[in-house]
Amino acid sequence: MRVPARRAKGDGSRDRPPSREDGAPVPSSSVPVVPVADSAFVRACWSRPVDRVPVWFMRQAGRSLPEYRAARGPGSVLDAIRRPDLAAELTLQPVRRYGVDAAILFGDIVVPVAAVGFGVDVEQGRGPVVDPPFRQIGDLDRLRPLDPAADTPYVLETIRLVTAELDPLGIPLIGFAGAPFTVASYLIEGGPSRLYARTKALMRGDPGLWAALLERLAGMAVASLRAQVEAGAAAVQLFDSWAGALSPSDYERSVLPATRSVLDGLADLGVPRIHFGVGTGELLPLMAGAGVEVLGVDWRVPLDEARRRVGTGVALQGNLDPATCLAPWDVVAAETEDVLRRGGGTGHVFNLGHGVLPETDPDVLARVVDLVHATSPADLCASGKAG
Ligand code: CP3
């Protein structure tokens, strides 16, 4: 399960990394390593100076990796998540392959609700399906509080296995959870949705039940994320993937309080909190004020414009359009450099604007990582001021 040295360059070196084919582990004694808390990723999350812009990719595990498909086996992704050896291996695969600055736990946003027996599965190619869906007050009884040690011991074991591997290399692990709105949307719609009509109908038609549902989900997210950090995660990301379906006023009134309670519930842990949603350009100022160190931005809003919208109090994460990675390399390189320039070198975690598309060539992502690492944050800072 060992991660090769390409992934362990903690020195901001611009030298060509070892070739991608060189999968052999290198003794960690030969690798200059900084503690995880001082890694480029964690430093950038806290908007501290860095010697390179850190990079990782949402949905970097799975999908486009042949080694994922080989290791994953048949069945629901939830079955893979319940096997710590396999989940740890799937967490580490993209770190080896791409040389990213952080791993993200192999899990899913529906793991806590599935673990308390709500009746959730994840269909390949479709996403989470819920049967029966959440409809009425009695359904709250199906959402008892999460006890991570008893309900999801496999998640904590996976984190222990992964961090035993990555901590000595100075590579942080990101834990994650789904934000109350996005998880609620799956429970209410019964599966993926385009319009979130039933979700909005419950939100507007029965505000009391809506608030009770979001409060339960917020409690589960806090419990899960706290346990993930206690098991070794160095940062957390709260995915509100589908919050962009809401107007700012609906978001502020009906969603933000529950999201804020999740983020506030993590404040004492001292790890960076990342918050992200798709199509949230109009919500960015509200999300930035929810209690975060890092705000994820999708590809629709350039990072310099996002910075204008949220001010200087948070770091930004993003935001290369995942579809760009399917274009010829010179296009990918130009857009990567554009994102870096707009990010300004500090307080920027490079990422895609949403998850890796399944048809992405893994070599393109590895080249993006190399390009980001080869770019000096100081030069970006200077060009940002000049421009
Ligand atoms: O890098 C990673 O992929 C790490 C693990 C991870 C998964 N899901 C595994 C998974 C993460 C971080 C998630 C988060 C997640 N899950 C989100 C938030 C991020 C986002 O994309 O906005 C959401 C909305 C979900 C719900 C979900 N689960 C969806 C929409 C899908 C996709 C359906 C598909 O096949 O395209 C899933 C299934 C899922 N979760 C897969 C993986 C690797 C798909 C592949 C498989 O079943 O093996």
Which atom of ligand 1 is nearest the CA belonging to 94? 1
d(CA 354, CA 307): 18
Centre of ligand 1 from the C-alpha of residue 123, in Å: 10
CA angle, 45 then 47 then 351, to 5°: 45
Cα separation, 370 vs 349, whole angstroms: 14
Q: Are 328 and 309 in contact (CB under 8 A)?
A: no
Residue nearest to atom 20 of ligand 1 (CA): 241
CA distance 310 to 274: 14
Our answer on whether the CB atom of 122 is closer than 6 Å to any ligand 1 atom is: yes
* 384 ligand 1 Cβ < 6 A: no
| CA-closest candidate to residue 57, choices 5, 7, 120, 104 | 104
End-to-end CA distance of the chain: 45
> Does residue 108 line the site of ligand 1, with CB under 6 A?
yes
**pLDDT for residue 125:** 86
> Residue 77: CB within 6 Å of ligand 1?
yes
- Rounded distance from Cα 127 to ligand 1 centre (Å): 7
Residues 346 and 50: their CA atoms lie apart, in Å, by: 7
pLDDT, mean of each 10-residue run, the chain (387 residues): 48 35 42 87 98 97 89 92 97 97 98 97 94 98 98 98 98 98 98 96 98 98 98 98 98 98 98 98 98 98 98 97 98 98 98 97 97 95 54
Cβ of 321 closer than 6 Å to ligand 1, yes or no, is: no
DSSP H or E segment with residue 242: none
Q: Which residues of 295-311 are buried (b: 16+ CB within 10 A; e: fewer)?
A: bbbbbbbbbeebbeebe
As given in the structure block, the two tokens for residue 144 are 């008892």
What is the per-residue pLDDT for 18? 37
Catalytic residue positions, numbered: 59, 63, 72, 108, 186
- Sorted by sequence, the CB contacts under 8 Å of residue 249 that are 6+ apart come out as none
- Nearest atom of ligand 1 to the alpha carbon of 182: 24
Alpha-carbon distance 78 to 76, whole Å? 5
Name the token pair of 326.
């399917």
For residue 108, the CA-to-ligand 1 centroid distance in Å is 6
The residue to which tokens 């990582």 are assigned: 369
Q: Is the CB of 272 under 6 A from ligand 1?
A: no
Mutation test residue for ligand 1: of 72, 77, 359, the one with most atoms within 8 Å of CB: 77
Phi and psi for 347 in degrees, rounded to 5?
60, 35
Mean pLDDT, all residues of the chain? 92
DSSP string, 298-309: -TTS-HHHHHHH
CA distances in angstroms from 112 to 125, 126, 202, 227, listed in the order given: 21, 19, 22, 12
**pLDDT at position 10, please?**
36
Indicate if ligand 1 lies below 6 Å from the C-beta of 104: yes
Both tokens assigned to 148: 């991570």
Q: Is 163 in contact with 173 (CB distance < 8 Å)? A: yes
Bridge-partner residues for 130, per DSSP? 120
d(CA 341, CA 328): 20
- pLDDT at site 62: 82
Structure tokens at 156: 């904590």
Q: Which of 306, 384, 299, 300 is nearest to 340 (CA)?
A: 384
pLDDT at 13: 36
> Which residue CA neighbors atom 1 of ligand 1 most closely?
59
* pLDDT at residue 2, as a whole number: 61
